[in-house]
Amino acid sequence: GHVDLEELRAFLAVVERGSFLAAAVQTHSSRATLRRRVDALEARAGRPLLERNPQGVTLTAAGQLLAEQGRLIMQDVDALVDALRDVSRAPAGRVTIMLPVGMPPQLTPQLVRLLRSQCPDVQIDLRAHADPASAALDDVDLVIYVGERDPPGPWVCHELLVARERLLASPEYLAARGAPRSLEQLAEHELFVWRAPDRDAPVAPLRAGGSVPITPTLVSPDIFQLRELARAGLGITLAPDAELDDSEGFIPVLPELVERALPVRVAVRGVVAELSKNRAVLARFRELVDALDRGDG
């Protein structure tokens, strides 16, 4: 049978507060009303969801599953109601964005400049994660991530650009140490390697397909940090390169051997994808990437 939203709200309130009494106070309902709704929900489920005891309630295995999924359902319902109210409004409100650590540092000021000029009533909550697609995204609106693996769940995914994971070094480093001429010679150099979300061990991806294991001096999910190590002449970095305006001053190393294409994508939670604030921020991201790609950022 179908899920009754009032029954689900009652169940989640009891779970959140730990007892029918505390939930009744929070929701300004009577305990009898909450009990009736939870009993009806258990009847629909065909199994107990809560174990009642003098101290309050504890979840059964079925109740645990419903509590986890039910919170997501209610978030989606609330977002859908917001979207209906939002149809003709100007973009406004908070947008939470999850980014990979180590995004180009010029990205944030330029994004803020665009948003303040075109969407002055939108507030941004920026977060960073080593692997945004696998992060906890319950209250996140947009996710920027590198690679083929999309976040699980009802996300609408768009490709922003394609980066190339490749070896880069500064001219000064290569002049001092010499450029490696083979994969074997990489072992003679300091290697600063990106921790890719889809790999368990550090490897160099081959243009011809497959990969070879490497022994890095340092591994990090922070792409900018790795580029700065190479820029400082400390070694060779293996990291995604979007060839934006901070790519000058690097020389590709073994470009004929080591490289793989990596999409940089943005995902918007399906149920809130049409909120004007989220559409506006997504459009600003596209404008920003286009500007950086042209070199006029």
* Residue 282 and residue 156 in one domain: yes
* Residue 131 and residue 271 in one domain: yes
CB environment 177-188: b (16+ within 10 A), e (fewer):
eebbeeeeebee
* Residue 78 and residue 114 in one domain: no
* Residue 144 and residue 283 in one domain: yes
* Residue 151 and residue 115 in one domain: yes
- pLDDT digit string, tens, across residues 77-125: 777 776 666 555 666 778 889 999 988 877 788 888 878 887 788 888 9
With a CB cutoff of 8 Å and minimum separation 6, the contacts of 21 are 31
pLDDT at residue 10 in the model? 95
Say yes or no to pLDDT of 49 above 70: yes
* Residue 277 and residue 236 in one domain: no
For 2, which DSSP code?
P
Say yes or no to pLDDT of 219 above 90: yes
Taking CA atoms, 169 is separated from 82, 134, 175, 182, 229, in Å, by 49, 30, 10, 15, 9
* Residue 181 and residue 168 in one domain: yes
pTM of the full predicted structure? 0.67
- The per-residue pLDDT of the chain, averaged, comes to 87
| Domain housing 238 | 163-261
* Residue 254 and residue 180 in one domain: yes
Answer for the pair 254, 183: CB distance below 8 angstroms, yes or no.
Answer: yes
pLDDT at residue 1 in the model? 61
Say yes or no to pLDDT of 279 above 60: yes
Residue 160 region by backbone torsions, left for phi larger than 0, else alpha for psi between -120 and 50, else beta: alpha
* Residue 238 and residue 167 in one domain: yes
* Residue 124 and residue 137 in one domain: yes
Answer for the pair 133, 145: CB distance below 8 angstroms, yes or no.
Answer: yes
- Report the distance separating Cα 222 and Cα 201, nearest Å: 16
pLDDT at residue 72 in the model? 81
* Residue 109 and residue 124 in one domain: yes
CATH number at residue 136: 3.40.190.10
Say yes or no to pLDDT of 180 above 70: yes
For 150, which DSSP code?
P
Higher pLDDT, 248 or 175: 175
Say yes or no to pLDDT of 166 above 60: yes
Answer for the pair 38, 49: CB distance below 8 angstroms, yes or no.
Answer: yes
The number of CA neighbours under 13 Å toward the Cβ of 101 is 13
pLDDT at residue 104 in the model? 80
- Report the distance separating Cα 143 and Cα 133, nearest Å: 7
Q: How confident is the model at residue 273 (pLDDT cuts 50, 70, 90)?
A: low
- pLDDT digit string, tens, across residues 185-215: 999 999 999 999 888 889 999 999 999 999 9
Residue 64, token pair as written in the block: 């645990």
- pLDDT digit string, tens, across residues 225-241: 999 999 999 999 999 99
pLDDT at residue 45 in the model? 92
* Residue 281 and residue 155 in one domain: yes
The count of structural domains within the chain is 3
Residue 45 region by backbone torsions, left for phi larger than 0, else alpha for psi between -120 and 50, else beta: alpha
